[in-house]
Amino acid sequence: MAELGRRARGTGRVYLTGGATALLHGWRSTTADIDIKLDPEPEGAFAAIANLKNELDLNIELASPDQFVPPVPGWRDRSAHIAREGAVDFYHFDYTSQALAKLSRGYERDLGDVSAMLTAKLTSRDEVQRGFEAIEKALIRYPGVDADAFRSRVLRAVEP
């Protein structure tokens, strides 16, 4: 974050998701890649990312929950601020949205991440259920998502 903020030539926001969130919150000690969303994109960020990937031997991916499931309304306002480095603000992408994207995929590691998010109170069972209800009708625009299986995983995750 410090290097990207230092090298970017303009203001903007970087949202961290997935393994990066897990590492920063401490429920995972490793991740295969760092998933980010730039919105708005800081000027010079892509050149900085390309150089940092090589210099630090990192796999940085442009990936965020809204690529896998419909965005939960208000996700920007619920995204937790991490730090400001240079002119760039870094956030955790909205935890409820992250949990829903993980539940949509249903991989064992993703389900473990959702459990860790709930335990850490980064989101709640009610927020996950309300978030799903808010996006359910828009799932038609995401043909790769099995809506019935997704709904079942959400219901299991929100059980008391």
In tens, the pLDDT along 74-89 reads 999 999 999 999 999 9
In tens, the pLDDT along 134-143 reads 999 999 999 9
pLDDT of residue 137: 97
Q: In whole angstroms, what is the distance from residue 81 CA to residue 65 CA? A: 17
User: Is the pLDDT at 109 greater than 90, yes or no?
Assistant: yes
98 pLDDT band, cuts 50/70/90, is: very high
pLDDT of residue 160: 84
- The strand pairing partners of 123, in sequence order, are none
- pTM greater than 0.85: yes
In tens, the pLDDT along 11-52 reads 999 999 999 999 999 999 988 899 999 999 999 999 999 999
- The strand pairing partners of 84, in sequence order, are 89
> How far, CA to CA in Å, does 94 sit from each of 17, 37, 41, 80, 112?
9, 12, 18, 7, 17
DSSP string of 55-124, one letter each residue: HHT--EEE--GGGTSPPPTTHHHHSEEEEEETTEEEEE--HHHHHHHHHHH--HHHHHHHHHHHHTTSS-
> E strand or H helix at 35, and its extent?
strand 34-38
